Structure 1
């Protein structure tokens, strides 16, 4: 299969993540760049909330659910809020500005999309890593149960209860919808959704954040779009490590969520959105962020803290200057205490029940160096982006503005440094427990603020160059006399500036898409290739799984070892398996089959377990295991089955073998 053949699936994924949210944003009265920037975040909310409501009502999950909730939400927003004249106070950006930014985003999307396809290889390749066993099977689970609720996805495997049933399901629901609409394989749908998240949603969200912070400045916004595609930490690191696909989706919209906080606080110089609409944007976006991955809610809390403290400080300073009575201080103090208490509760509760146990890989100074050089987790230094970000920092210091932005960057860097450089202890537990004390998850947040700082750095450099040229006698003006002024200006955007912006962005694009990013792709595409020493599935196993639907009845249950890829018979062949992922709890019956299925003919307790669990087939995918984890060795009953009198060989492809259980008829 070629990537060209995936275009229908790509367009469907784009429609799913853009159109519902854009309709809701329009209903709220949001227009142009803000509409484009908030559309993906709002779409995730509609999908996530719609899935929960549909499950509660017993309605099967399908695109119709998203369509219905979009129509209802948009109509409600329009009649309650959107048509009110008071909400139309914000002046939308000029269309030439929107067109220029859209062009920059489109070019960046093509470049990032190209890199993602290079990383993945073939469209039906899968990430051959640990977490993907769960994610691929979870997409199949959504399709089979027609339930995409984040309150129920943890039930896959049959042993979820209480909080264990909750798992952020928006990413899985999007993949399932792509498969429902196009009929494409789950593996292809997964790659398409990841491509859209990394190449489209991410630059849209980053540009919106930059627009809110730096204002409607074409150079800054175009530079932000181009620079957003020049980081290893996002999206590529999350596609390789784990893989962390739900984190990828939630992090891609986090910049947009942060932008809504800035709008609510009204701390950016060019903030012009009405307060009510800003609050609604924040409240509408939060469910999408949470149901994509709750760790991003904690990230939102951490990065919003400097903004809220800055807003509080400015407000209190105003009260002091106005010599306000003591009673005026009660409300801000009370609000601050309540917000801090709520944040502390969320910070404590929204964290996994176990930690990864990863150790620091750097010293504290070395970790700081990785932050400044945009080289997290031992990746190569991003020289250009780092220099531009430092220029942006110097600009903030010199102009004495946007200090809170610098503080947000410091918070993101500190969280990374804690994980990368601190030894195990309370600091790592408290500050980074939400992210399993995993440095890769925290590295993905660093580009959010580095992009904005680098975009500010680009504008500072361009302004310096323009000033230098102006001081040399205005030679450019002599090239364009006054009678040509009308030609040289298109609705407020001067054509020389536009031409210079194109040159600058083209240069940035070339420099950011070579070197660090290119080398990382070359070094890590092995994790999507088949027949490597660490792959989940070999080419032989792929071919056997392709034939499985014709050889195994739909109601059959297959005994598998989840550590050698056997569990993926569910995702690839739509056949039930005993264990859907490596962390599924093993009960006594599962343990008996895992250890003694080969001896079923001579051991009555094995046949009792076989009948109870309705096992009729078994897969032997050999002894190449994920991570060579000790748990992978707990399945001797599913090895060397050709010697067993309890099973009969049905099909084989190389070392991959399918057996039918014959001893317990």
Structure 2
């Protein structure tokens, strides 16, 4: 099942983009690397469009839209874009082997960390992403505004970019696995996508093949990206967007070098893909793009009018194709800003950035040393100066987000939620090729003084030595980082899953189960299809988006016996059952005030319980529902008490 699921996920991620890229005249590494971001571009275009046309989201919508867009590109393509710089077959094979190795490491680490893709991610944002996938797959509603039912069901002008969720929902619609399995399988492809994306950018910028190959391998080594982002949050869409960012930039470079209509069109589609995945990634792309243009124009000592026209057409195309996401992003930008408290002092924040120790105390020394060498030898990578400068800027912003309070820091880091982890991931985009340069520089020093064959053997042995000293490119460290996410609790334990499965057999269509937003119970939607009152862990920034009933019940549900407002609110929501789990999303959370001591509420009767979860059914204050007859079993059946033993609950070590 895991192999089938992984193959299906990879097919849906790559095939639509490959068809579009081929129709536009892309070939080689740029075609392969550009395919995923072009696929997301199609989800970004079709997601808002399908509901307007009265269509439910399905694989047929994605395939049909892809075919029509590819046909249009074939019509306007004309002659093919300029060919890529020639590599020998051996160089292609070495780079392909490097990408494959990185992809294999990524798949293997997530497969084992998630227990064969089946373990539930335990932390904050994973709940939203899982429920978003289930909602889209079941309802067919692909509008970004439709996700308000999860986080802010009463919001009138809600927007959340759903390009990532649409593709995972498409995987789930094929019936090859659960929502959790589909999420984990898609995320397992992330390292390979990143390695392929970095390869395309470096090749487009005419970087030496040896450096490209080493950089591809190193994409699986740095804990800061993507492993930290797959645990912190977890920030699945954002991590996906960052992995695709180099490929999108490679398309921009190619469009500037060979401004054919079809090439400009697919580049615009790629930018829509970044925005549909996460708008803050598209803002980062704009920052990198400005650096790219500055270096191009300063090197040429002029601003070519043709490039200005290409940029204008590119912006117009991206705006036309992604207008729904652009307008949605602008409307969401007016919402409440989030500002993390100071996490650490400047020396510690800077040290964690420089020594690659954001989530572990031990520095990644065997990556730091070649990085320093790469910085000293950077003149060999001058075409990437813009990438290095922009990445350093994001690194400094991450230090500011971690160590400073103030209006300027808040303003500059606002597009990235004032989050040092997101900003540090962007810093690593330049660290990877610079570290690769450092390693290749060392290999050149080992190889060149020796006869050719002996030198190649010495270089190969040096690579093996590096792999040994770095503990297999830090695979154990990175696997441990991923494993934190899949601990079997405390948010959702196996016993809580059993309770949710039982609940699914009790709830009628259209009913909402009241729950505590913080105890992991929102996962019931993704796992069983039962809709909870709170579909996501609350962050305190929902404002009026929750309506009046949910906050009222959250504070006063325990007064159901005596408070007519509470009973009216429960009736308005269609609540007949209450679910209580034992674990919380983070260790600092507490039970909602209205859900404390529910055993004392006469209008609630326990219909299921085990050591980790309890399900209550609502009755009238006298203990009976109008439809129930005295002496007969009420709807939902008798109380079921699980005999499963109590299992110890791990304590979450990951911040929310």
TM range (shorter): 0.7 to 0.9
Q: 1:43 — aligned with what?
A: 39
Q: 2:616 — aligned with what?
A: 659
Mapping of residues 208-223 of structure 1, within 5 Å: 208-215=200-207, 217-223=208-214
- The answer for unaligned runs of 5 or more in structure 2 is 320-325, 627-656
Could you state the TM-score of these two structures normalised by the residue count of structure 1? 0.83
Q: 2:217 — aligned with what?
A: 226
Query: Among 527, 533, 539, which residue is 2:494 paired with?
Result: 539
Q: 1:295 — aligned with what?
A: 280
Given that 2:26 and 2:80 are in contact with CA atoms closer than 8 Å, whether structure 1 keeps it comes out as no
Return the alpha-carbon distance in structure 2 between the equivalents of residues 331 and 100 of structure 1: 34
- 1:85 is displaced (CA, Å) by 2.8
**Is 1:640 aligned to residue 597 of structure 2?**
yes
Q: 1:476 — aligned with what?
A: 452
Larger displacement relative to structure 2 (384-393 or 432-441): 384-393
Give the superposed CA RMSD. 3.4
**Is 1:571 aligned to residue 526 of structure 2?**
yes
Query: Among 488, 513, 533, which residue is 1:530 paired with?
Result: 488
Mapping of residues 308-347 of structure 1, within 5 Å: 308-315=293-300, 317=301
Given that 1:352 and 1:436 are in contact with CA atoms closer than 8 Å, whether structure 2 keeps it comes out as no
Return the alpha-carbon distance in structure 1 between the equivalents of residues 400 and 471 of structure 2: 29
Query: Among 71, 86, 111, which residue is 2:105 paired with?
Result: 111
Given that 1:265 and 1:311 are in contact with CA atoms closer than 8 Å, whether structure 2 keeps it comes out as no
Larger displacement relative to structure 2 (241-250 or 385-394): 385-394
Return the alpha-carbon distance in structure 2 between the equivalents of residues 124 and 331 of structure 1: 48
**Is 1:72 aligned to residue 72 of structure 2?**
no
Q: 1:486 — aligned with what?
A: none
Cα distance change on mapping 1:219 and 1:643 into 2, 3 Å? same
Query: Among 156, 159, 168, which residue is 1:175 paired with?
Result: 168
Given that 1:649 and 1:658 are in contact with CA atoms closer than 8 Å, whether structure 2 keeps it comes out as yes
- 1:219 is displaced (CA, Å) by 1.7
Q: 2:123 — aligned with what?
A: 129
- 1:189 is displaced (CA, Å) by 1.1
Mapping of residues 286-435 of structure 1, within 5 Å: 286-315=271-300, 317=301, 351=333, 353-376=335-358, 380-397=362-379, 402-421=384-403, 423-435=404-416
Given that 1:140 and 1:571 are in contact with CA atoms closer than 8 Å, whether structure 2 keeps it comes out as yes
What secondary structure does 2:239 align onto? helix
Q: 1:325 — aligned with what?
A: none
Residues 246-272 of structure 1: per-residue CA shift (max 9 Å, x gap): 111111101112223333455xxxxxx
- 1:403 is displaced (CA, Å) by 3.2
Cα distance change on mapping 1:501 and 1:113 into 2, 3 Å? farther
Q: 2:509 — aligned with what?
A: 554
Residues 33-84 of structure 1: per-residue CA shift (max 9 Å, x gap): 1111111111111122122221221211111111111111112212211xx2
- 1:379 is displaced (CA, Å) by 5.0
Q: 1:450 — aligned with what?
A: 431
Return the alpha-carbon distance in structure 1 between the equivalents of residues 2 and 371 of structure 2: 37
How many equivalent residue pairs?
Answer: 607
Q: 2:184 — aligned with what?
A: 191
Return the alpha-carbon distance in structure 2 between the equivalents of residues 350 and 654 of structure 1: 41
- 1:183 is displaced (CA, Å) by 4.1
Given that 2:210 and 2:440 are in contact with CA atoms closer than 8 Å, whether structure 1 keeps it comes out as yes
Residues 85-126 of structure 1: per-residue CA shift (max 9 Å, x gap): 363554565544333322221121111222223433452222
**Is 1:626 aligned to residue 585 of structure 2?**
yes
**Is 1:204 aligned to residue 196 of structure 2?**
yes
- 1:11 is displaced (CA, Å) by 0.6
Mapping of residues 475-494 of structure 1, within 5 Å: 475-476=451-452
Q: 1:489 — aligned with what?
A: none
- The answer for unaligned runs of 5 or more in structure 1 is 267-272, 320-327, 470-474, 480-495
Cα distance change on mapping 1:392 and 1:279 into 2, 3 Å? farther
- 1:191 is displaced (CA, Å) by 0.9
Residues 614-646 of structure 1: per-residue CA shift (max 9 Å, x gap): 111111224x4333667x54342x343333321
